[in-house]
Structure 1
Amino acid sequence: MQGKRRQLLLAGAGIAAWALGGAARAQVGGKPETVRIGYQKSSTLMILLKSRGTLEKALAPQGVSVSWHEFTSGLPLLEALNVGGLDLSADVADAVPPFALAAGAKLTYYAIETPSPTAQAIVVPRDSPLTSIAQLKGHRVAFAKGAGAHYLLLEALARNGLSMRDIEPAYLTPADARAAFERGNVAAWVIWDPFLAAAQRQAQARVLADGTGLASYRRFYLAASDFARRRADVLATVFDALAQAGEWVKANPAAAAEWHAPLIGLDAATVEIANRRRSYRLQAVDAPALDEQQRIADAFHAQQIIPRKVVVSASAVWRRQA
């Protein structure tokens, strides 16, 4: 599993680096430098800035233009940063950076969203007899291997004196897990928003436990380390724009959902539920966030999902210049 995942990661990164390699890296002959930003459909704040042209306007006085590059998942996005195909990434889930670091990526953390622990949960069918995590023993549980949901499950089991050996893991993508859940082929499903909100609204899923006290579910923003060292001024501008976008989303949840829903193929009511659970509050990277990154890395290393020990503290962290 890990070998295949690594091969796909490198293949995706190679394609990204080839496709993006022609983008301008420095101001030459009076032309503006281009900052290359990678994002996913789930990158609410960065997509909001993209749709409004906010960064183009904010960075123009700094002699910087913007090019946008969409990715289908977080791992190829971060590897593209590492190999020089991108300069900045939009948010990725908390389980993603440890995999990139394990693969040797040299990245700089430049921002986080504050915790949103209720944005992922372990759910069961509405009429399930299961009422506690301890009762998962011996049952089949669906989740995406190596995702934040996997870490949440590990923590929940450990707090109840259980381990992965006590359940039957079903490693499934969100779409396949949803189908298995609705057919009754799994007893429980560990999933994150907006899939969680959709399962609650459409499949009457019941929350057995969310991430409260178990897994914080922070979103991380990263940069190519050479770009972070060279253009700290650009990072400051992007950070401030993202913070303002987060404030708008939280102050206007219905309007934000109406705008974002068509982009991710869900109805606005479902997206609004998911948006209300996610903090969207941007802040500088702090010690608790990095400590949890280390715990995630250690947990996955112990499960032999990450092949080698990761030392998160060895990674660079951007700090605003005084």
Structure 2
Amino acid sequence: MNVIRHRTVSVNGLNMHLAEAGSGPLVLLLHGFPELWYSWRHQLPALAAAGYHAVAPDLRGHGRTDGPPEVEDYGMSDHVADAVALLDALGARTAVLVGHDWGANTVWAAAELHPERFTALAALSVPHRPRSPRPPIEMLRTFTGDRFNWMLHFQEPGTAEAEFSADVPRAVRLMLYGLSGDAGDLGVHLLTQLPRTTVLLNEIPEPPSPLPWLTAADLSYYSTEYERTGFTGGLNRYRNADRDWHHLPTLATRPLDQPALFLAGALDTAVRYGNLSAMRDLVPNLADPIVLRGAGHWIQQERPDEVNAALIKFLQAVS
């Protein structure tokens, strides 16, 4: 039996909490928002059983990892530096890097900035995109007009924190449900069809029945951690989007040579409105994207068996 172990290591000046399982070639698993290492609870033992050392950290500002105080401490360069320093702390020269949501963005960036350290990549739910012609928040403000947008809603420090912290279990439950496959077209409505003055959580109904992939114990773990830490660490990642654009001017401008895998749910808006075939211009060694029917944004939690099988097949192919 591959039991998940926990420890804290020093990474890039932070005390970083890790959950890990198994031994063998290193696979790093980077979560998104509002998530934690716990989002990989199904993958850690499966990868360990397949012969890998699977490590899922709480990223900076999340869970039991230190949260630096300034918004500027959550830029993409900081997250990439954490990933590289984590390899060093684990005594590993290279690793396969896997990420979901914002973690997927970090995978694409780290692979480009440090190709010698990350030899293969797997991204869940967020495809690789070329560099935008203008800062992304600036472009979003023009594009969305009077419509609500999550990314813009999260920009002002304190606003989303107050909304989510008023009832943390409700906030976590509704956000995870709202973008899941169980919610059907609700995610499209939330991301494209609401007025700018929307109070986000008021637009997401309670799940009509318990979610088969998210137990009461799962929700309790997320809620307990976010009640303790607050949501600022994750939200600050959104607040660095334009800063990243200026600070990393060559990012997403040249092809990645590593073998890569992309997995997503068919009901994820990134799939509905994205051009997955266009990724090949920047990721020429991309395997055929895997899109799971009926799944939403939280793919490794909603469909763990299929995600595990795809990851293990990919890892075996690139070993």
The question of a shared fold, defined as TM-score above 0.5 by the shorter chain, is answered with no
Q: TM-score, normalised by structure 2?
A: 0.36
The higher-RCO structure (CA 8 Å, 6+ apart) is 1
Higher-Rg member (1/2)? 1
Structure having the larger proportion of residues in helix: 1
Q: TM-score, normalised by structure 1?
A: 0.36
